[in-house]
Structure 1
Amino acid sequence: MDNDSDHSALLVAQWLAQTAGRRFDLLAFGDPVLDIVTGIDAMPTPGGKVVGRALGCWGGGTTANAACAAARLGLASGMFGRVGDDAHAALLRESLALFGVDLSCLVSVGATASASAITMIMPDGEKAVIYMPMPAAPAAGIRLDAALSAARLAYAMPYDLDELVQLSTLARSHGALVAIDLEAAVAPDSHAMRARVALADIVFFNEAGFTAGVGAPPSEAAMRSVLELGPALVVVTCAGAGAMALALGQADVQYANQPAFPAEVVDTTGAGDTFNAAFLSALLRGLDVRAALRFGCAAASCTVAAMGARAGLPTRAQVEQIMQQTTI
Structure 2
Amino acid sequence: MTASRRWDLLALGDPCADLVVAVDALPAVGGKVLARALGDFSGGTTANAACAFSRLGGQAAVFGRVGDDAWGASLRDSLREDGVDVSQLLTSPGQASGRVIALIPPGGDRALVVIPMAPGTPRDEALAEAACQARVLYAMPYDLEELRRVRRIADRAGSRIAIDLEAAVVPDAGAMAQRLMLADIAFFNREGFVAATGGEPTPEALTTLLDFGPSTVVVSLGSEGAIAADRQGTARQAAFRVPAVDTTGAGDTFNAAFLISHLEGQPLAASLRFACAAAGLAVGAVGARTGMPDRQATLALMASTNA
Q: 1:311 aligns with which of 290, 298, 303?
A: 290
- The correspondence for 2:144, drawn from 151, 158, 161, is 161
1:253-292 to structure 2, matched below 5 A, reads 254-292=233-271
| Contact persistence 2:230–2:268 (CA under 8 A) | yes
Find the residue that maps to 1:228 and give its secondary structure.
helix
- 2:42 counterpart residue number: 59
Matched, 1:245 2:224: no
| Matched positions, count | 307
- Find 1:227's aligned residue among 210, 222, 234: 210
Partners of 1:222 and 1:197 lie apart in 2 by 14
What is the RMSD of the two structures over their aligned residues, measured on CA atoms?
A: 1.1
Deviates more, 1:222-231 or 1:101-110: 222-231
Distance 1:293 1:152 in 2: 20
- Could you tell me the TM-score, scaled by structure 2's length? 0.98
Number of the residue aligned with 2:219? 236
Query: Does structure 2 retain, via aligned residues, the 8 Å contact 1:138–1:163?
Result: no
Deviation at 1:137, TM superposition (A): 2.6
SS at match of 2:212: coil
Return 5+ residue gaps in structure 2 as ranges. Answer: none
Following TM superposition, the consecutive aligned residue runs of length 4 or more in structure 1 with deviations greater than 6 angstroms are: none
- TM-score when normalising by structure 1: 0.92
- Secondary structure at the aligned position of 1:126 is classed as coil
Task: Select between 86-95 and 290-299 the one with higher mean Cα deviation.
Answer: 86-95
Q: Give identity over the alignment, percent.
A: 50
Match of 1:69 among 52, 67, 82: 52
Where in structure 2 are the equivalents of 1:173-252 lying within 5 Å?
173-249=156-232
Give 1:223 deviation, angstroms: 1.1
Partner SS state of residue 26, structure 1:
strand
State the secondary structure of the residue aligned to 1:145: helix
Q: Give the structure 2 partner of residue 12 of structure 1.
A: none
CA positional deviation for 1:127: 0.6
Displacement of 1:138 after TM fit? 4.0
Q: Matches of 2:17 and 2:122 in 1, distance apart?
A: 21
Residue 101 of structure 2 corresponds to 118
Q: Give, in whole Å, the separation in 2 of the partners of 1:136 and 1:225.
A: 35
* Aligned-residue offset at 1:315: 1.0
Q: What SS does the corresponding residue of 1:213 show, helix, strand or coil? A: helix
Q: Show structure 1 runs of 5+ residues with no match.
A: 1-16
The answer (yes or no) to whether the contact 2:14–2:44 under 8 Å persists in 1 is: yes
**In structure 1, the residue corresponding to 2:62 is in which secondary structure?**
strand
Name the SS for the 2:113 alignment partner.
Answer: strand
